């Protein structure tokens, strides 16, 4: 097993490497202050592997003549674990045109989100009235662009999750562009969640037309949900109304797998949030307030008789008791 690379830095995917990424993302936020920078310094001094991981990450920037783009690192930290490890290996690789291209590829979607017409940061929610009277709600870490005029009603989901209440304006349906294609509805209540190259779509009132980039169009009726990607849509399944609870500041679990619950909770806090494989299949039920994710972790630990391990404020993991 690799414990460290030749330069003394822990390997990509290790706890210290992921903590370093989380710190870099936080320091790249517009609200980063002196206290946060001092906390990062304390983290670096706490353990030799922390300092080594930080040197590797910032060393990339010194060789390029600039610090790593926080936007690129944010995309890295938000990626699924296996993809994040592959990209972390890229960060540790020798500098060259390929690495610069890789960082640019990572940064582009995040840069788009930062320049979006409407956006929320991690843990925030926003409700907005569109020009035609339709209502749009943005969940945590969400970004959309909005274009209305010349008979068009258009929302582009760049990242995150939205709830949408289209109103019948008598002309074109309201169109939502996603990674997999378009979702159109004249009137109703919809939920859309961006999932990489696909989008989860659920209809709770009215109906919606799905137009994938390459596949055949399909319709969703009230009470139905599906996954839309460029090739088409999956067979419809029952829509889960519990997935709307974020609008009330709650996360609802009904006999839910702990690993899946933790993946959802991670969207509402900065940094790394994980669960040990030994307990990932445990089942959880409850209603949890999203305003304080640390309280949620403490409640889950009590309910399932597990333990929360914190290495920093931005690194937490559930492990067996």
**22-77 pLDDT tens trace:** 677 667 654 567 778 888 888 898 888 888 888 776 654 444 344 444 444 444 44
pTM: 0.67
The reply to whether 164 and 265 lie within a common domain is no
- Give the residue with greater pLDDT, 171 vs 10: 171
**DSSP SS3 for 79:** coil
Pick from 185, 169, 166, 118: nearest CA to 146: 118
Q: Average pLDDT in the 212-223 region?
A: 92
Report d(CA 245, CA 231) in Å as an integer: 30
What pLDDT, in 10s, does the model give residues 146-189? 998 877 889 999 999 999 999 987 778 999 999 889 999 999 99
Report d(CA 35, CA 41) in Å as an integer: 10
Tokens 């209440």 — which residue?
165
What is the percent of the chain where pLDDT is above 70?
74
Q: From start to end of 65-197, where are the E strands?
A: 118-119, 126-129, 135-138, 143-149, 152-159, 161-165, 174-177, 181-185, 188-195
Residue 41 dihedral angles phi and psi, to the nearest 5°: -60, -45
The reply to whether 103 and 138 lie within a common domain is no
The reply to whether 311 and 208 lie within a common domain is no
The number of residues making up the chain comes to: 321
Per DSSP, the residues of 148-173 read EETTEEEEEEEESEEEEE----SSSP
| Domain interval for residue 67 | 15-114
Report d(CA 230, CA 283) in Å as an integer: 33
pLDDT the model gives residue 7: 47
Q: Is residue 10 part of a domain?
A: no
Q: Which of 89, 114, 139 corresponds to the end of one domain?
A: 114
pLDDT the model gives residue 114: 66
What pLDDT, in 10s, does the model give residues 93-113? 443 444 444 444 444 555 566
Mean pLDDT of the chain: 81
The reply to whether 156 and 215 lie within a common domain is yes
pLDDT the model gives residue 263: 95
The reply to whether 202 and 228 lie within a common domain is yes
Report d(CA 87, CA 272) in Å as an integer: 16
Report d(CA 282, CA 255) in Å as an integer: 9
């Amino acid at each position: 097993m690799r414990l460290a690379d030749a330069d003394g830095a822990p390997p990509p995917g290790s706890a210290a490497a992921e903590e370093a990424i989380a710190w870099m993302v936080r320091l790249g936020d517009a609200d980063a202050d002196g206290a946060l920078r001092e906390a990062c310094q304390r983290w670096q001094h706490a353990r030799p592997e922390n300092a080594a991981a930080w040197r590797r990450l910032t060393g990339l920037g010194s060789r390029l003549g600039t610090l790593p783009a926080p936007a690129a690192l944010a995309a890295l930290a938000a990626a699924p674990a296996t993809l994040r490890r592959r990209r972390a290996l890229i960060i540790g690789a020798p500098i060259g045109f390929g690495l610069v291209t890789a960082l640019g590829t990572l940064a582009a979607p995040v840069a788009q989100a930062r320049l979006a017409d409407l956006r929320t940061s991690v843990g925030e929610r926003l409700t907005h009235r569109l020009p035609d009277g339709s209502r749009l709600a943005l969940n945590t870490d969400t970004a959309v662009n909005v274009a209305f005029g010349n008979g068009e009603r258009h929302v582009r989901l760049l990242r995150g999750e939205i709830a949408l209440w289209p109103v019948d304006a008598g002309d074109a349906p309201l169109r939502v562009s996603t990674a997999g294609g378009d979702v159109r509805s004249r009137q109703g209540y919809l939920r859309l969640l961006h999932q990489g190259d696909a989008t989860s779509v659920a209809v709770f009132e009215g109906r919606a037309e799905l137009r994938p980039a390459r596949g055949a169009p399909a319709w969703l009726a009230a009470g139905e949900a599906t996954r839309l990607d460029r090739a088409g849509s999956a067979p419809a399944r029952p829509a889960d109304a519990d997935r709307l609870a974020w609008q009330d500041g709650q996360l609802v679990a009904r006999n839910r797998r702990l690993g899946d619950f933790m993946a959802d909770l991670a969207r509402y806090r900065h940094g790394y949030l994980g669960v040990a494989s030994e307990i990932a299949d445990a089942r959880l039920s409850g209603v949890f307030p999203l305003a304080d994710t640390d309280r949620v972790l403490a409640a889950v630990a009590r309910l399932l008789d597990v333990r929360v391990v914190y290495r920093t404020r931005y690194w937490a993991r559930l492990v067996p008791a």
